[in-house]
Amino acid sequence: MSLPERLMQREYAHVQHLRIAGCNNLTFIFKSQLPSSLKKLEVEYCGKLQYLFDDDTRASINNTGLSSLEHLHVSNCLSLTRMSSRMEQLSVLKHLVISECPNLVTLSSSGQLPETLQNLHVSGCPNLKSIAESFQSNMSLENIKIWECEELKLLPGN
């Protein structure tokens, strides 16, 4: 089950902050379902959510909410295994906070994070094995906080 298509309708075109909480039957979120004006997305207590931003062939990055997204906060999504197959496509993402997602294994299947990322906070993800393959030299990362991620063995190197 995904988000209702009506989020992309005209009356939601100017939404900048969206909080999705307690949607227990939500299993994924397509990029194309988010308003293009969206700057902050919070996803909490969605027990069946398996992944965010599935590669939806209906939309490209330039006409989705991902092109404006600066803040992403995900917490207490017990079935979440991965964030996105291409996290680096979140081209203006500055703040990424993930907490209490015990089945999360990787942040990005591609192994890359957005160059614009400034703050990365991950906690309570005991099965997290991979953050990224490397941090690009031109990355804006200023603050990294990682705790209670017992399976994480290495931080990316340049």
**Which tens digit of pLDDT belongs to each residue from 122-152?**
999 999 998 887 676 667 889 999 999 999 9
pLDDT above 80 (res 12): no
Question: What is the distance between the alpha carbons of residues 12 and 15, in angstroms, rounded to a whole number?
Answer: 6
Q: Which of 6-10, 16-20, 57-61 has the lowest mean pLDDT?
A: 57-61
Residue-wise pLDDT for 28-53, tens only, equals: 887 667 888 899 999 999 999 998 87
Q: Is residue 154 part of a domain?
A: no
Q: What is the domain count for the chain? A: 1
Question: Domain for residue 152, yes or no?
Answer: no
Instruction: Report the C-alpha gap between 123 and 91 in whole angstroms.
Output: 23
Q: Is residue 16 part of a domain?
A: yes
Question: 141 lies in a domain?
Answer: yes
In-domain check, residue 55: yes
Query: Are residues 39 and 70 in contact, defined by beta-carbon separation less than 8 angstroms?
Result: yes
Question: Which phi and psi angles does 99 have, rounded to 5°?
Answer: -145, 150
Q: Per the domain annotation, does 135 fall within a domain?
A: yes
Give one word for 72, left, alpha or beta, with left for phi > 0 and alpha for psi -120 to 50: beta
pTM to 2 decimal places:
0.85
For the stretch 66-121, pLDDT in tens is 789 999 999 999 999 988 777 888 889 999 999 999 999 988 877 788 889 999 99
Cross-strand bridge partners of residue 95? 71, 119
> Which residues touch 142 (CB under 8 Å, ≥6 apart)?
118, 119
So what's the pLDDT on residue 126?
98
Domain span at 139: 5-147
Tell me whether residue 130 is in a domain. yes
**What is residue 155's predicted lDDT score, i.e. its pLDDT?**
73
- Does residue 134 contact residue 115 with C-beta atoms inside 8 Å? no
What percent of the chain is predicted at pLDDT more than 90? 48
Is 156 a domain residue?
A: no
Distance CA 10, CA 37 (A): 11
